[in-house]
Amino acid sequence: MSTPLWITYAWIDNAEGDFDYLVQQLVAAGIPALYDRIALVPGRKLWEQLAEKISSEALAGWAYLITPHSLSSQACKEELAYALDRALEAKGEEFPLIGLLHQVSIRDVPLPLKVRLCVNLANPDWIEEVRSAIESRPPRRTIHLQSPIVTRVHRPYLGDDSATAIEFRPRFGEITYWRIAYPVAGPQPSRWGCGPANGGGISLPPSTWNRKVPLSSASSRACWSNHK
């Protein structure tokens, strides 16, 4: 791909080289990038140069790195508004406009980009999502194998700094028969049973702790091993 992607970003997001790393990853994947420091001439009016780049140059798309810093940057907001207006006027509605999300929720995305594709940089397939937006096609998804069981460790547990809870739950359906194995020489469980998922307390009374009780994802029940 020889046509570059224009990227708007807040300078503070490159204080430790984060933006440079983003560009590095795109270039390594064959997606060239343009941005102010390498495309605009110092000392000339910003908006005239930006308008020229968006209106006259061949661009694969325009991307906006959306971070807590860029959301609070007036300069980024102004460039976003100006770029959107120019891009839609010069390139048309089909011109790719891409939000690159980093440590922000989709609800924080500027309204003009909410109706467009937004790519979460935490997604391992984010480069493919950017490429697919530029090429106007659905992304080729990588299917990551998942375990049928979800395991979580809660430390501290229920406000007790000395306690650790290990939660197991099936993604779907039930586990009718379950066992927990632990080293004889290691920490011993003080109790076990079923309870609400996501760190809830064990709801079964002590008399039922050793019974065969199904674990269910539908009822949000979990199995706990509480170590001290």
DSSP string, 39-75: HS-TTS-HHHHHHHHHHHS--SEEEEEE-HHHHT-HH
Q: What is the pLDDT of residue 204?
A: 57
Q: What is the pLDDT of residue 102?
A: 92
The CA-CA-CA angle for residues 134, 137, 143, to 5°, reads 105
pLDDT along the chain (228 residues), means of 10: 83 90 95 77 64 71 88 76 70 81 84 77 92 89 82 84 84 78 78 76 57 47 42
Fold annotation for 5-134: Rossmann fold (3.40.50)
What's the sign of the alpha-carbon dihedral 49, 55, 57, 60?
Answer: positive
pLDDT, tens digit, for every residue of 186-221? 777 777 777 777 777 776 554 554 444 555 544 444
**Domain residue ranges of the chain, discontinuous segments joined by +:** 5-134, 149-227
What's the sign of the alpha-carbon dihedral 65, 66, 67, 69?
Answer: positive
